[in-house]
Amino acid sequence: MLYVQLKKALFGTLQATLLFWKLLSSTLQEWGFKLNKYEQRAANKTSKEKCAVIWHELKISHTEKGVVDKMDHSLQTEVKY
């Protein structure tokens, strides 16, 4: 039998999922998003228009493509998904 200690969470494990949720939700909250109290994998931000992020499959919706592109780039930089 072989035992190892990992330095990072292993992809596909519950620990990795929890760590990703914590990182993504805290990052979105720092950016002014509010978590949906009924669905913890959804966050919304309203300024002039509503922007929604749902991360079962990580979907971003907004009426302007530029906002979605900016969110995608920011998330790739900050969360490295």
The rounded distance, in Å, linking the Cα atoms of 10 and 48 is 40
The rounded distance, in Å, linking the Cα atoms of 27 and 8 is 19
Domain extents in the chain: 14-78
pTM for the model stands at 0.68
Tens digits of residue pLDDT in 29-79: 999 999 998 988 899 998 778 888 888 778 888 888 998 999 889 888 887
Burial class (CB in 10 A: 0-12, 13-18, 19+), 68: middle
Query: Helix 14-30 crosses helix 65-78 at what angle (to 10 degrees)?
Result: 120
